[in-house]
Amino acid sequence: MDTISNAQTVIKLLWTGGWDSTYRLVELSRMDVTVQPIYGCDGKRDSMEIEKQTMEKILAALQSHPGTRAHLLPIVYVSLDTIPENPEITQAYQTLKGLTGLGGQYEWLARLAREHPGLELCLENMPYGGGSGSILKYGRVKTEDGVTALDPEQSSPECAAVFGNFRLPIFHITEQEMLANIRAWGYEDIMAMIWFCHRPIHGKPCGMCHPCQQKMQGMEFLLPEEAHKRYAVQRRVRSVLSEGAGDFLAKVIYKLTNS
pLDDT tens figures, 19-33? 999 999 999 999 999
Q: Do residue 42 and residue 150 come from a single domain?
A: yes
CA 59 to chain centre: 16
Q: What are phi and psi of 221, to 5 degrees?
A: -65, -15
Residues forming beta bridges with residue 148, ordered by sequence position: 143
Contact call for residues 188 and 42 (beta carbons, < 8 A): no
- Give the pLDDT mean for 226-254: 76
Check whether residue 117 and residue 219 sit in a common domain: no
Whether 15 and 71 share a structural domain: yes
Judgement on whether residues 117 and 64 belong to the same structural domain of the protein: yes
Is pLDDT above 80 for 45? no
Confidence at residue 109, expressed as pLDDT on a 0 to 100 scale: 97
**Which range of residues forms the domain containing residue 217?**
197-257
Q: Are residues 28 and 148 in the same domain?
A: yes
Q: Does residue 240 form part of some domain? A: yes
Tell me if 5 is assigned to some domain: no
- Are residue 238 and residue 133 in the same domain, yes or no? no
Q: Is the pLDDT of residue 251 over 80?
A: no
Domain membership of residue 183 (yes or no) is: no
Q: Predicted confidence band at 241 (pLDDT cuts at 50, 70, 90)?
A: low
Residue-level pLDDT at 200: 86
- For residue 227, the 8-state DSSP code is H
Q: Tell me: the pLDDT tens digits for 79-112?
A: 999 999 999 999 999 999 999 999 999 999 999 9
Angle between helices 130-138 and 87-100 (to 10 degrees): 90
State residue 217's pLDDT score: 83
Banded model confidence at residue 11, pLDDT cuts 50, 70, 90: very high
Residue-averaged pLDDT of the chain:
89
Same domain, 120 and 228: no
Domain count, the chain: 2
Domain boundary, last residue among 125, 152, 167 = 167
Q: What pTM does this model have?
A: 0.86
Same-domain check for residues 58 and 150? yes
